[in-house]
Structure 1
Amino acid sequence: MRKSVKFSPEVWERAVRLVLEHRSEHPSQWAAIESIAPKIGCSSQTLLSWVRQQERDTGLRDGVTTAERERIKALEREVRELRQANEILRKASAYFAQAELDRRSKS
């Protein structure tokens, strides 16, 4: 199994910029990507996904922008934490309600 390589944002931006700058020198965007990807050290498919994301971020392509994706991720994390907190509170409430019933039945 191949190990996933994490590229820095600087490499990501430089690679996308190279594709956009050298697009006119190639018959297609894919040809430009295939030419540039080995120089960056990533796969052509990876570079294509970076270019597509940049197009979404700049409004040239429909889809979820990077900022929106980060916001969704943060909201999902918050929802998960709130659900956990609600579950803890529900269990604590049931525990104390039972303790109160036990106390009343003994008196």
Structure 2
Amino acid sequence: MPKPYPKEFRDDVVRVARNREPGVRLKQVAADFGISESCLTNWLKRADVEDGVKSGTTTAQSAAERELRKRVRLLEQENEVLRRAAAYLSQANLPGK
């Protein structure tokens, strides 16, 4: 997988693409910066979501969701350990042992 472009570079390319002269196609803007047209299209879509122009999940929301999923996974593991410990200790207290 190729190394991602720096955020500053992506922001500059998106700014130029949004403010291009009438008649200049996205394909030409992408070629001028040495990227593919599909890459530029994806950057524009992501920028629209980040700027609130289009609905979607922002980078901050994605990061928060990732953190929440990690926390849920950890809590589920802790709960499983406690459940097993409780089952083990309840068997240890049975008469005849």
| Category of TM-score, reference length = shorter chain | 0.7 to 0.9
Shift, 1:60, TM fit: 1.2
How big is the alpha-carbon RMSD for the aligned residues of Structure 1 and Structure 2? 2.5
1:105 is the counterpart of 2:96: yes
Of residues 28, 33, 38, the one that matches 1:45 is 38
**Number of residue-to-residue matches in the alignment:** 96
Does structure 1 conserve the Cα–Cα contact (< 8 Å) formed by 2:14 and 2:47? no
Please give the alpha-carbon distance, in whole angstroms, between the structure 1 residues aligned to 2:52 and 2:25.
18
Give TM-score scaled by structure 1 length.
Answer: 0.70
Aligned to 2:89: 96
Task: Identify unmatched segments of 5+ residues in structure 2.
Answer: none
Q: State how 1:22-101 maps to structure 2 within 5 Å.
A: 22-23=17-18, 24-25=20-21, 27=23, 30-32=26-28, 34-36=30-32, 39=34, 43-101=36-94
Does structure 1 conserve the Cα–Cα contact (< 8 Å) formed by 2:14 and 2:43? no
More helix by percentage: 1
* Identity level (%): 30
Q: Which runs of 4+ in 1 moved over 6 A?
A: none
Give TM-score scaled by structure 2 length.
Answer: 0.76
Shift, 1:83, TM fit: 0.5
